[in-house]
A and B are shown apart, each in its own frame.
Chain A
Amino acid sequence: MLKITSLVKRYGAGDPVLKDLDLEVPGEEVVSVIGSSGAGKSTLLRCINRLVEPTSGKIFLNGTDFTSLGKRELRVGRRRIGMVFQSFNLVDRLTVMENVQSGRLGYISTWAALSRRYPKEDIRRAYELMERVGIAHYANKRADELSGGERQRVGVIRALMQQPEILLADEPTASLDPKTSEQIMTLLRDLARELKLPVIINIHNVNEAKEFSDRIVGMRYGRIIFDDLPDALTKDAMHEIYAGVPHEDRQMEGAAA
Chain B
Amino acid sequence: MSTARDTWRKQPFIANPVLRYGLYAAIAVYIVTTFATLPIDWDRMVQGLSRAGRIFGGAFPPSFQRSELLIDGFMESLKIAILATVGGVLLSIPIAFMAARNIAPLSIYYFGRAVIIIARSFHPVIVAIIFVKAVGFGPFAGILTLIVYSIGFVAKLLAEKIEEIDPGPVEAMRAAGAPFLSTLVYAVFPQIMQRQIGLGIYQLDSNLRASAVVGIVGAGGIGATLANAFGRYDYDFALAITMVIVGAILISEAVSGAIRKRIA
Q: Which A positions have Cβ atoms within 8 angstroms of B?
A: 49, 51, 75-79, 81-83, 85, 87-94, 98, 102-106, 108, 110, 113-114, 155, 158-159, 162
Contact = CB atoms under 8 A, between A and B. Distances in A.
A78 B173 CA distance: 10
Interface string B151-189: 000000000000000001101111111110111011100
A145 to B, nearest CB: 14
Contact of A158 (B172, B179, B183, B190): B172
A88 B178 CA distance: 17
B191 interface: yes
A82 to B, nearest CB: 8
A105 B177 contact: yes
Contact of A75 (B169, B171, B179): B179
A102 B177 contact: no
A89 to B, nearest CB: 4
Q: Which 6 residue pairs spanning A and B have beta carbons closest together? A: A106-B177, A105-B178, A78-B177, A89-B168, A79-B177, A89-B172
A93 B190 contact: yes
B182 A105 contact: yes
A101 B191 CA distance: 17
B172 A83 contact: yes
Contacts of A102: 172-173, 176, 178, 186-187
Contacts of B177: 75-79, 105-106, 162
Given A105-B178, A110-B181, A94 B186 contact: yes
A68 B5 CA distance: 67
A51 B193 CA distance: 26
Interface residues of B, number: 21
B188 to A, nearest CB: 9
A87 B166 CA distance: 11
B179 A110 contact: yes
A162 B187 CA distance: 17
A49 B177 CA distance: 10
B184 to A, nearest CB: 9
A77 B191 CA distance: 27
A49 B179 contact: no
A51 B173 CA distance: 11
B175 A91 contact: no
A155 B191 CA distance: 18
A90 B168 CA distance: 8
Given A91-B187, A91-B190, A105-B186, A78 B169 contact: no
A159 B173 CA distance: 10
A79 B176 contact: yes
Nearest to B186: A102
Contacts of B169: 89-91
Nearest to B194: A93
A109 to B, nearest CB: 8
Given A94-B190, A105-B186, 19 more contacts: A49-B175, A51-B171, A78-B177, A83-B172, A83-B175, A85-B172, A87-B168, A89-B168, A91-B187, A93-B190, A102-B186, A102-B187, A103-B176, A105-B183, A108-B182, A113-B182, A113-B186, A158-B176, A162-B176
Contacts of B179: 75, 105-106, 110
